[in-house]
Amino acid sequence: MKQLSFFLLIIPLLTYSQNRNEKYHNGAFNNNIDFFAMAKVQNKSNSNYLPGIKGTPYLYNTWNNCKIYPSDSKPNFSIPCNYNVYADQFEIKVGDDLYILNPESVKSLIVDQKTFIPYKGPNGGEFIELLGSNKKIRLIRIYKAKIMSVQTSTLGLHESKLNIASKDYFLTNDGELVKLPKSKSKIFDILNLTNAQKKTFKNYNLKKTDQLITIMNSI
């Protein structure tokens, strides 16, 4: 009986502690919601958001903790988030509610060991993944979602499916976006390597992102 009374007493305390921690972690967002949030997400269900379309608009299958570094002097904070590639927006979760993250409120954010930064592209505010950078140029990855018609196992029938793909680019300091060439010599030219540097890095496999980033960090 004493054990039962103890558990009945401890459960409310644990619940209070969890709620207090959640409010603590989300406090920076809750206290500045007009700064960080553009709008509340209305269609949280994939079936409502993309009726009749197979697949998900999100980059991740689960909502991971995202560390957000604000664009002003506000302290960084962690909050569950996901990247809606189809809408090209990061969405953050507070309790049962989803909000669209305002790109102008963010300097950078880290989720699943990937760094994303806001980028004003031709379609307005977007997010891009920052792979590497030096003083002259940045290596970035842009994700796009496209609805495609694919053939089903039933002969003659097709279905609509959402496909997420990515491409890598160089982004110069003056805002020029250059698709990452397949040719090693063209990459060397974009990076403006000297003949001595080209000789040093001639055996590098530039299809491997980490080796390309190594070159960028050394020049």
Question: 136 and 33, same structural domain?
Answer: yes
Taking residues 164-185, report their average pLDDT.
Answer: 92
Poorest-pLDDT segment among 92-96, 112-116, 120-124: 120-124
Q: Which domain holds residue 14?
A: 2-180
Question: 197 and 101, same structural domain?
Answer: no
For residue 207, the SS3 value is coil
Taking residues 14-37, report their average pLDDT.
Answer: 55
Question: 147 and 46, same structural domain?
Answer: yes
Taking residues 98-124, report their average pLDDT.
Answer: 88
Poorest-pLDDT segment among 8-17, 103-112, 127-136: 8-17
Question: 217 and 123, same structural domain?
Answer: no
Q: What is the mean pLDDT of the chain?
A: 82
Q: Hey, CA dihedral for 70, 44, 126, 130, is it positive or negative?
A: positive
For tokens 């090693």, the residue is 184
Distance in angstroms (rounded) separating the CA atoms of residues 103 and 119: 8
Question: 118 and 21, same structural domain?
Answer: yes
Question: 167 and 144, same structural domain?
Answer: yes
Question: 192 and 156, same structural domain?
Answer: no
Q: How confident is the model at residue 159 (pLDDT cuts 50, 70, 90)?
A: confident
Question: 170 and 152, same structural domain?
Answer: yes
Residue 175: predicted pLDDT: 84
Question: 165 and 74, same structural domain?
Answer: yes
User: Which of residues 37 and 196 earns the better pLDDT score?
Assistant: 196
Distance in angstroms (rounded) separating the CA atoms of residues 129 and 13: 41
* Number of domain units in the chain: 2
Residues 6+ apart with CB under 8 A from 146: 162, 163, 165
Residue 16 CB-density burial (10 A; 0-12 exposed, 13-18 middle, 19+ buried): exposed
Evaluate whether 102 touches 92 at the Cβ level (below 8 Å): no
Evaluate whether 29 touches 18 at the Cβ level (below 8 Å): no
Residue 18: predicted pLDDT: 39
Residue 47: pLDDT above 50? no
